[in-house]
Structure formats: structure tokens, C-alpha cells
Structure 1
């Protein structure tokens, strides 16, 4: 397959907002792929080389001012081999060798292929082929049920592997993919609930109501004495969290996969600032005074038994048994099963009184549906909050003159397109945050204007809001009401942002 075919399909995906049209273009391409092309194509269209981050920046690429090839000649294997060689080039003199490899690749590429490569290598390939669309395309190309593709992806965490499995072995091969200790599972997510009463009315009384902490999501795997820890984005952080490793290693089991949250507590047992918790995941020299405490709320595997497909009630019973000892009771997320409305309100009051965000209400009959926000888990907070993508920023006025202030906010497009703008805000920003935005945003600029900058959709910010209202001003037909910045979320990517449907769910009476 020619590399130009991938570039053409990428352009077709970028040119439409139709999820069906996007999936059809990718499926047509996958049907023509052979061998390892099946792994490379979905990875590239999702914006990720098979080799991971290649450490190639704009400064290097700007020196590759080679005349483009006049006609397509590169194949998909040609490009994949070049990227593999690039990834393996290290040590003394590697910078010059890497630049020479890139020069050879770009010389053989047409103008459109060069543009695609630049965006792929710098992590700025934004054509809207998000994971969900690619999964739909894999199912169509392999003529297999979408549910089987999504489950295999949930358990493998790899789009390329899922595509290769589906196209080579069909449904039987997909169903043979199982949870593997040491390979993280995509986490199940909670959608926003309008209020505690509304969520209870929606889900009924067969629910668990648990504290919603202001911490970091963790998934912990144990295999004998080997314990490994991943974040919400499936980034391994084992070496940086020895206290979590030690606590899981002390549990009375041989193998386990636990899902939960962790956060730093002060001497009074109240949560420390969110940035204190996150500092443990991003610093080479973390503050020894910041000790993380884990709180587990789900159990996906225990001593040879996979629990993913069991109802939550069964998983909670297994978790309660694992953490039954007095020495382990503090590792359990506080909550109540099958509460009355009064008891559920007491759990919410207790969570808020302890300094936490609110509660999560979970249907007891629901299996573990990884990677999805749905009705089965709904979070309830006194103040609505959303994780949105920063799309741009405007120069401030008055005391904010000379600083990038009013930010443009976008919700994730559930159909796989670019984030959909739903509002702006300049509220809630400290001087320190304004200075950080002014330093940081120009380096992420997609376009620069006299009024400000449009950004590549890379940063996620948490905003508090009073609700939403219908509005023709923005493409999604909805706008935020009284939005204010809570904090930026370095632990989340644009794929983790709240979808447009979550904003629409906050419409008064909607």
C-alpha cells in the first residue's frame, strides 16, 4: 500500500464531521492493507506512530527544507521501517544520524506526505480519527461485531493489535483476547449526574453510592510479589509510588487487578491540594512529605478469576473479602450499597464534610465497561464541573493587558471530530495562571492573530459552571453558564475530555 493512500484517507476524514463517513474511509483503507500495514494504518490515523514518541521536534523538522517528490513512491512499510530505525538511533552522534534518516524520508515524500509526516512526528495530527471511530472502522473492515472489537481493545489497550487480530482472525480471535496481569485495562468512566435525586431516580435503589475523591485514578496489578501501577491514561508510575506497591503487596492474594484513586492527605486526614498529589507522578525528586493513600473501589481479577463481566455487586463482594482485615479496611473507598435516599444524602454530606468532591452512584447490576462514560456510573457534585479542551485564548484588557486571558473551551465530539466550542471564560484565573498561559500558549499555537491565539487541542482544563443554555452562537447549539477555571488537568488528554452530550445534559429541563 502506498503511503499516499493513508494521507488521502486522512484528508477525507478531516473533511467531514460525519462519524459514518470517517469510519467508512478508514475501513476502506484497512481492507486493502496487508501484513504489518494493518497495524500501522490505524495507529497513524489515530495520530500515534507504532514506535511511540520519537523525540522529533519542530526545530529539527524546520531544517528539512527538502524539495518534495513529484509523485508518490513511498509505501506504508517504507515509512514504518524508517520510523523504526529512527527510534533505534541513539548514543553518540545520534542527532546527526537521525537528521539524515529524516532527510531521506522527507526527500522521498510528496508535499502532502511531508505535511502528514510533520504532524504525525510532532504529535499534532488532528484529523478527527479518534479511537472510537477507528474501532468502528476495524469492525466494518473485518465484518465483525463492534462490541467484540471494543472489548478486545479494552483488554489489550492497543489499536494496532486490535486491528491485526480482527482482520486476521475475526470474531473468534477477538473473543480469545483476555485480561492479562501486567497489561493495563482501559478504565471505566463516570458521566456527570444532574443531582443526587435525579441519579437515584434514574438508576433505582440497586446502587452503590461512594465518595468521589479529588485524586488521581490508579489501576494496580499484582502477580505474586510483582506489583505494577498505572494512571488513568495507562502510563506506568510504579517506581514513583513505593507506598502503594507495598500496600498492595501486603494483601492476602496471589494475583489481583484493582481499580481506585489515590491522593495525598494532610495530618488531619483531609485531602491536600490536587497538585500535591500530581507532583508524585511527574517529578524525578518528589517531596517525601507527600505520601499517597490508595482507595480502591473495584476488583477486576482475583486469584485466577476474571471479574470484568460480573455485576458490580459481585465485584464489590470480592473486594470486600480481599480487604476484610482490619489492617486493610482503610484501603476501601467509603460508600454504602442499596441506600435509602436519606442514606445516600448522608454519604454525600460525609464526602463533602471530609473535603472531597461528591459521590459516584453506580448500578449494582452493571459489568465493567472500560473506556466508556455511560449511565451505569454517574458522579454527583454540588457544583457542576467539566473537563474541557482549551481551543484558544484572547489577550486581556486593563490589569490583564499583555497576558493571554479569556480561554476558548471545547467539548469532545462524540463522533470523532475536532472539539466543539461551547464557551469562553476568564474567571477563576490567578496571576500565576495568567503568566503560565502567556508563556505556554504561543508554543502550542495553531494560528496567531491580533486578538490572541488558536491552539492545537492538547490542554485539558477543569471548569466549574452553573449549568448550560441553548445558544446558536456555538456549533453544538449549547453554551456554558458562568464557567470559571478550577485547574488544568495534566493527567488527562483531549480524548478524556467530557463529550458534548455531557454539556447538553446540563440544559435546564433537558
Structure 2
């Protein structure tokens, strides 16, 4: 199959909001692909490179300047082979080899293919080919029951593997997929609650309210002395977290799969900043006996215990199993609380330095890989008035519109606004059009990707918090920022200051 066919499908999927239309486009592509090409095509259109890290950053890609090919000639196999070469380039001469491979690849690509490859290789391929849509397309193209395909994806955590099973093995292969100790499962996700009272009322009376820790999601598997630890994205980090491995090896069981959070605590038992936890994933073996740097696991679910799969059992049974195994590792929780008791638990979580709480139905099974109403998250929301410093041109459905905003906080010393992050979330079609019409009137300069503005426009931003960051000059970065509205009633001099933003740091 030619790469151009994949690129055309990516463009078509990005251009529509219709789930039905997206599925039809993807199915048409998978129907045309050879069986051995399907896992690769599925991975790419899900924004994933099967080879993993290629050792290529944005700087290397932006330095490429080959003229685009006038005619499409690249194939899926050729690109996949080039990615394999990039991923395997190590040691002396690897920089030169990568440059040669990149040059050859992009020199053979048309302009649209170059754009697709850049976005794929930098993780910027946002086209709306979400997992649910791709699962629908795999089921349709393979002629297999949707429920079987969906469950196989949940239990393998891999769209390419699911596609391969559906195409090569059919219904029998899909049905044979089960929970396997040592193979990561797509994690169950939560939806934001309207309010704590609403979540308790909706899910009650049989529910549990957990602390929502400001840590990193982990899934832990153990078979005898073999322990594996996976991140939320199913990345294997076992070798980087020997402290977690040691804790799980001490549990009184032979086989287990646990879901939870990990974080590092300070001397007072309060959570350290989120970045401290994330930085430990790369330095777990270099603690020099300092117990304050240890990662501490806290679990809120048990999917398997000593040969018994619990994933389809109600949460109450899974929690009973977890409590029988490791009560000291349970996330702090209250069962069947009143609204007042749930609010007290939320206050306790916030006072302890955590994000908020999770409200969960005790009747629900573990919906792997899905965001269901049976789990709802409640945490405070912060809003700030920030200055728009620039906007990047959008891609996919947003092509031709100024989209991703560069945001700055006011310098209390009177200097120019200090950049604290970017966001494209919360922008309606109406706002996108307004930005595209209005921003050039305030333009200071531009490059091929961004229109930079004089600091005049103020926007209200909602965010979950901030974190320390060396990426931005203010030393902080916004977490999960979303546009609420523009504030034409405010000037840049009335925007929130960098000190106010820093005040959210733990």
C-alpha cells in the first residue's frame, strides 16, 4: 500500500466530526491494506509508531529541508523499514546514520506525506482517529463482532495486536484473549463529575470515595518473583522502579494484578510535586539510602489474585480481594458515605496535598480502556486571566485556523508577560474563526508555524494546577489548561501575575 493512501485517509478523518464517517474512511483503508500491513497502518493512524522511540526530536525534523517529491512513491513497508532503521541506530556513527535515513525518507515524500510523517514522529498527529473509532473500523473491516474486538483491545491494550488477531485469527482468536499476568491492560478511566454531591447522589448508595492522589498511574503484575510495572500508557518501567518491585514481591500471593498510583512523599508524609515522582522513573536506583526519595505505591483496584480473574466482578469484590492482600497499601477511602461525609473526605484529601477524590460505584465491573460514569473524579478548578502571546496554525480539521494559544502571566516588575504554557482545548469553531480574524490585527511577527502577538488580548483559562518547569522562563507550566472565554474588559496589565500562578505550586 502507498503511504499517500494512509495520508489521504488521515486527512479525511480529520476533516469530519462524524464518527460514522470516520469509521467508514478507516474501514475503506483497512480493506485495501494487505493483512501484514494492517497492524502498522492501525498504529500510525492511532498516532503510534510500533518501533517506539526513534531517537528523533523536533529539532532534527525542523532542520530537514529536502524539497518534497513531485509524485508519491513511498509505501507503508518502506516507511516502516525506515522507522526500524532509526530505532536501531545506536553507538558511533548513529547520528550520521539517522540523518541519512531521515534525508532519504523525507526526500522521497510529497509535501503532504512530509507533513504526516512530521506529525506522526513528534506525537502531533491529532486527527480524531480515537481508539473507539479504530476498534469500530477493525470490527467492520474484519467482519468480526464488535464486542469481541472491543474486549480483545481492552485486554491486550494494543490496537495493532487486536487488528492482527481479528484479521488473521478471527472470532476464535479474539475470544481466546483473556487477562494475562504480565501483559498490561488498558486502564479504566473516570469522567469529571458535575459536583461531589451530584456524583454521590448518582452513584449511591453503594459507592466508595477514594483520595485522588497527585501521583503517576501504575499497573503492577506479579507471577511468583517476576514483577512488571506499567504506566497509564502501558509503557514498561519495571527496571526504573526497583522500590515498587520490592514492595510487591513482599505481598503474600503468587499471582496478582493491581491498579493504583505511585508518588514520593516528603518527611512529613505529604506528596512531593508531580514532577518529582515522574523524575524518579529514570533514577530509581540512585537513592543513596535516602528514604524520602522512594516511590510509594497506593492501590485502588485488584484485577486478578492467585489464579482468579476479578476484572468482571463488581468493585466491592475486587476491593475485598485488595484488602485481604494489602490493606496497608489501600488508597484512603470511605464506603457508602453521606454527601457530608464525602465532602469531609474531599477536604481531608486536599488538606493532605492531594488533587481531590474519586467516586466509584461498588457494583461496576472494571471497564478496561473506557471512560465510564461508574468512576467520577472531583477536584477543584482554578481559573486565571492570562495574556495571549501567540497562536499556532492548526492541523487536521483546524487547518487554516489559528489554534494552539501561547499563554503568558503578567510580570509584576513591569516587564513583558512571562510564558507559562500552551493550550488548544476549549476552543469552539466560533472562537477559532474569531481568533483567525482578530489575531493578525495584533501581530508583532510570525514564522511558518506561529503568529506572535503584541500583549493586548486577555483570555480566561481554567486549569487543574501548575507544576515546576524548566521549559518556560517563569519556571512553572500550566496543567490541563482550557479556554473559558476571552476578556475584552481586561487589559494585559490586569492579567494574573506570575507570582499568583506560582502560588499554586505545592
TM range (shorter): 0.7 to 0.9
Taking the aligned partners of 1:205 and 1:26, their CA distance within structure 2 comes to 42
Question: Is the contact between residue 261 and residue 297 of structure 2 (CA under 8 Å) also seen in structure 1?
Answer: yes
Matches within 5 A, 1:214-253: 214-253=214-253
Taking the aligned partners of 2:42 and 2:426, their CA distance within structure 1 comes to 20
Partner SS for 1:449:
strand
Cα offset for 1:173? 2.3
In the alignment, which of 274, 297, 302 is matched to residue 305 of structure 2?
302
Question: Is the contact between residue 14 and residue 127 of structure 1 (CA under 8 Å) also seen in structure 2?
Answer: yes
Cα offset for 1:283? 4.4
Q: What whole-Å deviation, never above 9, does each CA across 1:326-376 have from its counterpart, x for those lacking one?
A: xxx321122233334454444334434434333221111111112222210
Partner SS for 1:139:
helix
Taking the aligned partners of 1:376 and 1:486, their CA distance within structure 2 comes to 35
Q: What whole-Å deviation, never above 9, does each CA across 1:136-168 have from its counterpart, x for those lacking one?
A: 322222233434333222221222111121223
Is it true that 1:402 corresponds to 2:416 in the alignment?
Answer: yes
In the alignment, which of 328, 331, 339 is matched to residue 329 of structure 2?
331
- 2:156 corresponding residue in structure 1: 156
Q: What whole-Å deviation, never above 9, does each CA across 1:80-129 have from its counterpart, x for those lacking one?
A: 12222332233322322333333333343333223322332333333332
Taking the aligned partners of 1:10 and 1:67, their CA distance within structure 2 comes to 22
- 2:324 corresponding residue in structure 1: 321
Give TM-score, length-normalised by structure 1: 0.76
RMSD between aligned residues? 3.8
User: Using a 3 Å threshold, how does the CA distance of structure 1 residues 255 and 445 change in structure 2: closer, same or farther?
Assistant: farther
Partner SS for 2:360:
strand
Cα offset for 1:42? 1.3
User: Using a 3 Å threshold, how does the CA distance of structure 1 residues 173 and 232 change in structure 2: closer, same or farther?
Assistant: same
User: Using a 3 Å threshold, how does the CA distance of structure 1 residues 65 and 360 change in structure 2: closer, same or farther?
Assistant: closer
Give TM-score, length-normalised by structure 2: 0.76
User: Using a 3 Å threshold, how does the CA distance of structure 1 residues 464 and 335 change in structure 2: closer, same or farther?
Assistant: farther
Matches within 5 A, 1:24-43: 24-43=24-43
Structure 1 unaligned regions, length at least 5: 324-328, 425-441, 474-481, 490-510
Cα offset for 1:408? 5.6
Structure 2 unaligned regions, length at least 5: 384-402, 436-444, 458-470, 488-495
Is it true that 1:392 corresponds to 2:405 in the alignment?
Answer: yes
Partner SS for 1:220:
strand
Q: What whole-Å deviation, never above 9, does each CA across 1:245-288 have from its counterpart, x for those lacking one?
A: 11111111111111111222333333333333333224475683
How many pairs align? Answer: 442
In the alignment, which of 446, 453, 478 is matched to residue 450 of structure 1?
453
Question: Is the contact between residue 259 and residue 300 of structure 1 (CA under 8 Å) also seen in structure 2?
Answer: yes
Structure 1 runs (4+) greater than 6 angstroms displaced: 486-489
Question: Is the contact between residue 189 and residue 377 of structure 1 (CA under 8 Å) also seen in structure 2?
Answer: yes
Taking the aligned partners of 2:85 and 2:32, their CA distance within structure 1 comes to 25
Taking the aligned partners of 1:315 and 1:354, their CA distance within structure 2 comes to 26
Question: Is the contact between residue 280 and residue 286 of structure 1 (CA under 8 Å) also seen in structure 2?
Answer: no
Taking the aligned partners of 1:488 and 1:158, their CA distance within structure 2 comes to 37
